[in-house]
Amino acid sequence: MIEMVVHGITLDPVSQMPIVVLKAKDNEETILPIWIGAFEANGIAMKLQEVEPPRPMTYDLMKTIITSMGGTVDRVVINDLRDSTYYAEIYIVQGNNTLVIDSRPSDAINLALRFGAPIFVEEEVLEKSEVPKPEEDEEKKQLREWLENIKPDDFEIGGERS
């Protein structure tokens, strides 16, 4: 498994769908873009920008529930890629018990950010993903360069600069 960090949220220039961009903690060249929904992207962006909503949002509520039950999110793992869909697991520790909950990566990432938990990606998932490699054609090289060079100022949600 490779530990990843959230590099940011951006929009796909073609589909205008949000993308969460993960980069390997110890290797800036290893990136994993995951297309996600607008609401999930908004939750990630708000947490990255340390925006405190006036009322708890869904992921803040989930954190409160888990915490009030004596649990904490230990880690999340993006563990599979099937038919262009990523799968994840949330590891919740409650006393001596560890619960492993099936999840969409966007939900798992949102919770990991709120708990300060690490995000891991199975190496097999990175191998199966279609992240362009430097030796591939020019169009894929340009996509990889764009993903590697996005800056926080480039991140947009809902048409507004975040």
pLDDT the model gives residue 4: 96
**pLDDT grade for 161, boundaries at 50, 70 and 90:** very low
pLDDT digits (tens, 9 = 90+) for 81-121: 999 899 999 999 999 999 999 999 999 999 999 999 999 99
- 55-68 residue pLDDT tens: 989 999 999 999 99
- What mean pLDDT, rounded, does the chain reach? 87
- Residue spans per domain, the chain: 2-156
Domain made up of 2-156: CATH architecture = Roll (3.10)
Nearest-angstrom CA–CA distance, 71 and 158:
33
Whole-structure pTM value: 0.79
- Give residue 13's pLDDT band: very low, low, confident or very high (50, 70, 90): confident
**Of 72, 73, 77, 74, the residue nearest 2 (C-alpha):** 77
Backbone angles phi, psi at 65, to 5 degrees: -65, -50
